[in-house]
Amino acid sequence: MAEDRDDFIIKSIREDREIREALTEEEPLKKQIGGDHYKNCKIQPVEYICANKLDFLEGNIVKYITRHRTKSEGAKDIEKVIHYAELILQLVYNKNK
């Protein structure tokens, strides 16, 4: 069931991308400023974040967890994921360590 939902989301994102590509000359999703750590992703983190209406804190978790294996300082990205998760606990759920 979850696989069907995921397939639907991926298909919708790809269809949306095709429509946007037809409307624009230069596709912003095809370029990356400062590195290439998202180039091999099947779905760009920003596409997933927008499609699922994630907020800033949640979006950063997706971004950092996606790239930690492809950057030289991957452990630092995991620390950032933990930090953003702690911020969600504190700011959204009013839980402190």
**Residue ranges of domains in the chain:** 2-91
Q: What is the pLDDT of residue 14?
A: 83
Contact 59, 66 (CB under 8 A): no
The whole-number average pLDDT for the span 33-59 is: 87
Task: Give residue 48's Cα distance to chain centre.
Answer: 5
> Tokens standing for 4?
């069907």
pTM: 0.67
Contact 62, 49 (CB under 8 A): yes
* Higher per-residue confidence, 36 vs 97: 36
The span from the CA of 4 to the CA of 69, in Å, is 27
Q: What is the pLDDT of residue 63?
A: 94
Residue 45, classified by CB atoms within 10 Å of its CB into exposed (0-12), middle (13-18) or buried (19+), is: buried
